[in-house]
């Protein structure tokens, strides 16, 4: 389990490092012709790295911490379903071409010049995609609480905490005062209060 935890920690650390504005800016300065492919390459590296570690994880012995009763299993499936719905709904608020990286290939850095979106699920929390992942991960763990899944979920939760903070810094740099006002109105991750739709 130590090696698995190391792999996931390394993966999420690289994931966060490669997403920093400073590194992306340095690539753009030194390799301007490559910069438009950065986001696309980043996503490809993220997906294949993730799948590689999951493949390794699935080869490990499945040592259950406890046997969940049937109601807990049903709850796990329900949470995974809710998490998936939240993630899909959250993605509808993004420019998927920019999210995947194709917009940068076609238009370059101007693809990042879109407005701050505060409609949809973003009225409830500032990071609805992370909320969907959080709910889904809890359900995933409840279905089969093994030691390997526990390491996977714990590393993901740690990443969500750190990743959310890093994302907040980037959004503050990008949107400035508009994002400060948005922070004051809408909770970060847990929908503790509801706000009417705000104008972008």
Q: What is the pLDDT of residues 112-159, one digit of tens each?
A: 667 788 888 888 999 999 999 999 999 999 999 999 999 999 999 999
- Mean pLDDT, the chain, integer: 86
Residue 131 in domain: yes
Global pTM value: 0.81
How many structural domains comprise the chain?
Answer: 1
Its domain, for residue 34, covers 2-185
Contact indicator for 106, 122 with CB cutoff of 8 Å: no
Q: For residue 157, give the 3-state DSSP assignment.
A: helix
In a domain, 194, yes or no: no
For 3-34, letters b (16+ CB in 10 Å) and e give ebeebbeebbeebeeebeeeebeebbeeeeee
User: How far apart, in whole angstroms, are the C-alpha atoms of residue 62 and residue 59?
Assistant: 9
- The answer to whether 39 and 101 have CB atoms below 8 angstroms apart is yes
Instruction: Tell me whether residue 193 is in a domain.
Output: no
Q: What is the mean predicted confidence (pLDDT) over 59-79?
A: 92
The answer, yes or no, to whether residue 76 has pLDDT greater than 90, is yes
Q: Examine residue 14 and state whether it is found in any structural domain, yes or no.
A: yes
């Amino acid at each position: 389990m130590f090696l698995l935890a190391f792999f996931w920690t390394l993966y999420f650390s690289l994931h966060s490092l490669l997403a920093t504005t400073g590194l992306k800016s340095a690539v753009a300065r030194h390799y301007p012709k490559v910069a438009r492919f950065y986001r696309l390459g980043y996503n490809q590296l993220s997906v294949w790295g993730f799948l590689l570690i999951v493949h390794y994880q699935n080869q490990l012995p499945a040592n259950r911490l406890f046997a969940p009763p049937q109601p807990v299993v049903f709850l796990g499936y329900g949470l995974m379903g809710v998490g998936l719905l939240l993630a899909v709904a959250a993605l509808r608020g993004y420019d998927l071409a920019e999210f995947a990286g194709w917009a940068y290939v076609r238009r370059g850095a101007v693809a990042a010049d879109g407005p701050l979106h505060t409609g949809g699920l973003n009225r409830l929390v500032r990071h609805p995609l992370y909320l969907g992942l959080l709910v889904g991960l809890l359900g995933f763990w409840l279905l089969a609480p093994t030691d390997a899944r526990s390491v996977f979920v714990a590393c993901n939760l740690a990443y969500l905490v750190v990743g959310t903070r890093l994302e907040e810094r980037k959004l503050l740099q990008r949107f400035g005062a508009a994002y400060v006002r948005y922070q004051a109105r809408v909770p970060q991750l847990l929908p503790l209060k509801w706000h009417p739709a705000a104008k972008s």
